[in-house]
Structure 1
Amino acid sequence: MIEEVLPGVVGVEAFADDPAATLFPEEEALLTRAVDKRRREFTTVRACARTALGKLGLPPVPILPGARGAPIWPSGVVGSMTHCEGYRACAVARRTEVLALGIDAEPNGPLPDGVLATVSDAAERAWIAELARADPRVSWDRLLFSAKESVYKAWFPLTRRWLGFEDATLTVRPDQRTFEARLLVAGPVSGFTGRWTVSRGLVVTAICVLPG
């Protein structure tokens, strides 16, 4: 799935946890009070990350959370990680080729009651309702949520600044499986173009920001 939304970028995904996956001591120290579910997703997504880094010719290293939880990547590398029930994924690239990456995965099911109103504006809710009538196989509200998560993950490494759900407005192209995010705050970019796919009960979204 990750290759569908990020062609040309190194991506690694897993649909089940690897019981043989291990952590660095620095990573283990972050999980002293973690429940089993948190430990499994944390470990597997980092196994994906180290496999992806290996495809760039880099050795395995700890992947620790930095400011606002954003992963700290080796020098010269950009990347993004995501996990949800039944899915873990990581995408990485060299900074000389890609400025930022953002990926997110969610279950292809409706958002909990009340969430859509807090993460969307009226225009977004209008196209969600229209697309839901045209193709109910896709949870368009969840797609919006996932896309905005990808927007934030691409935005933060470029700015080191918070971006709220209300700070970007999205439109979706169902026929092309792309989305456009227009940013409503000042920054180095005015918006992002991303890709999305729905398969295996999942919604996956991604953004790749290229130089220039």
Structure 2
Amino acid sequence: GDRQQLQQVDPRLRWRGPPGTHDIATGIQVLQQVRSGSADPVLMPRFDKSLHGGMGDRIAPEPLSNIDILLFEGWFVGMQPLDAAQFDTAPWPISSEDDRAFALDCNYRLQDYLPLWDLLDALVVLHPGDYRLSKQWRQEAEQKMKQQGRSGMSDAEIVVFVEYFWKALHPDLFLTPLLKTADLVIEVQPDHMPGQVKKPGAAIAD
């Protein structure tokens, strides 16, 4: 599958998710087709998180027509590359030189996503008050999948999995700037309910 091919390119890409593991060209093609208003069906990419023991992989696309609103969702949508000097004192769990090198490579690969971000009409950020909640939420999601009879990761695997993504694009470094520039920031409380709603982008426009 795609995941195995990615690991051949870079063994550090254990999971699909960090910059460099996406089919950017397809993303651009899909967004351009939707924006064009074409009557032809759009082949919407799909991903099944339950495959490969919870590692996930792509499945056959789904043809969709008459799309009025497209929510382009992802954990680092809109994030911008940073100056490399910011990684000199990177936050935990970026603790080793290998971690720092991985973080720098992910930061560099963000450049490739900028044409994709340019096709978005607005950026909405769902912001947990504490990014570390993502571990708890991932555990809840995996438990639900298992209850549905699908495979998923153990709690120990989830810890490694989530920290891997913090090493790739640490929220303190990459999410914090978005909170000042996004069109809409919606706080997400620990129980998944929405909290405060802010419009930082509107203030910039003014």
TM exceeds 0.5? no
Larger proportion of helix: 2
Q: TM-score, normalised by structure 1?
A: 0.29
Q: TM-score, normalised by structure 2?
A: 0.29
